[in-house]
Structure 1
Amino acid sequence: MFHKEGQKIILFTFIITVALIIAAQYLIGLVWLRYAVQLLVLVVLILILQFFRNPKRPVTPDFDKILAPVDGKVVVIEEVEETEYFNEKRRQVSIFMSPLNVHVTRYAASGTVKFSKYHPGKYLVAWHPKSSTENERTTVVLNTPKFGDILYRQIAGALARRIVNYAKEGENVTQGTDAGFIKFGSRVDVFLPLESKITVEIGQKVIGAKTTIAEV
């Protein structure tokens, strides 16, 4: 199953792949070179399909837990001053996604969308300290039953050029459902209340809508 945000890219890549394979068959005389070109375009198609995959992950909402919003590796766990919305200290958990990870963003908790804003910006590498405040990004705040307000931020990486955010202010959302997509490498920061119990460690690999990253 593939994400809807990749449908046009997948179709375009498939057409180009077929065209190049046929062209190589008739235009390239050297057998080894023909096979090399055909193999290369097939690999590109497979990589595109792999990037836009959207595995089904049924979730039974749990108000006592915050789930990982994306697949990837935990790169930051620290107490920080969140300055865009809260203007107070929060517990930050950041997850880095490589191009090989599933790039679907899923709601980490059930609740009501209180704030949703897009910020144009730079394309620093996703692990750069300033990427959270200077890169292209979206900021979403959810009001949840047990954690109160939590904030998550989709951040574009060096390769990303488009962030898709489905969160709309006033909308009620369900934990684990589709919240958006980031194309080609990125990071997501989650800002939680200080009293939240963090259940992951630096370097740990997490699965979106499966791994619990915090509890009440």
Structure 2
Amino acid sequence: MSHDLHLTHGPIRLRPLTPDDAPRLRAIVDEASWAGMSTPLPETDAAMAEHLRELMGRPGLQAFAVERDGEFVGRTALYDPVPTVRVDVGHTVYARPVWGTEVNPACKLLLLGHAFEELGVARVGLRCDHRNTRSHRAILRLGATFEGTLRAFRRAADGTVADADHFSVTAPSGRPCGPVSRRGWGPEGGPTAAGWRPATGPVKVGASRNADIHLIIWMHVEHSVSGDSL
């Protein structure tokens, strides 16, 4: 599905992915980093371009190139939307040098903000291959709720049928779905300094995680994420 959506937070920019990004994407991935995908790693730039055309042609899927300071560092997508109800975030892969940096939290901040405030959904879903414990930990650190593992859920890049861990983030409690005011949020789309204290270490997410998901992720972005975040 073609789109013209651009989302920016500081040095992180999401722009429409195109087949012309194929050489850049192939240059930053390898068999191991691609293992969480549902199709084999394309072996040539032409094959990657065809893969991207197929991906972008799927109804309802909005694919993004991820850039940091203008450099291509990955891709991600919104997909499987049900208007005003839910949308999923996935098809995400990053260059190894940006693992554990602000890139993934910033991308999720942008995508969750767009999903809740512009698309007006009540739920954003995320999932990862059950074997990918690094991705599992990274998703939990973003404040998502682990909902369980579906066995034999999808085909993996290695050709096996893999189990998948499912997570969700629901619309912040007490806030309406749909476009809302950003009053009280900073110029980059995050909370203003008043009313919250910066995190000094990994954010501890409690029972009210979904009520303050924007704040949780903002803390991760501003103060970095420790460990194996994608």
Q: TM-score, normalised by structure 2?
A: 0.22
Larger radius of gyration: 1
Bigger share in helix: 2
Q: TM-score, normalised by structure 1?
A: 0.23
Higher relative contact order (CA 8 A, sep 6+): 1
